[in-house]
Amino acid sequence: ASAVMAAEALSRVPDVQIDGDGVFKYVLVRVRGAGAPAKDVVRGHGWAEYHADLFERTAEELAPHGLSCECLGGGRVSHRPEERKIHVYGYSVGFGRADHAVTTEKLKAKYPDYEITWADEGY
106 is in an annotated binding site: no
Burial readout 96-106 (b: 16 or more C-beta within 10 A, e: otherwise):
eebebebbbeb
Exposure of 65 in the CB half-sphere (CA atoms within 13 A)? 22
The 10 Å Cβ neighbour count of residue 41 is 21
Of 74, 79, 67, 61, the residue nearest 20 (C-alpha): 79
User: Which residues are tagged catalytic?
Assistant: 51
| DSSP helix/strand/coil, 100 | helix
**Residues forming the annotated binding site for substrate?**
25
**Residues forming the annotated binding site?**
25
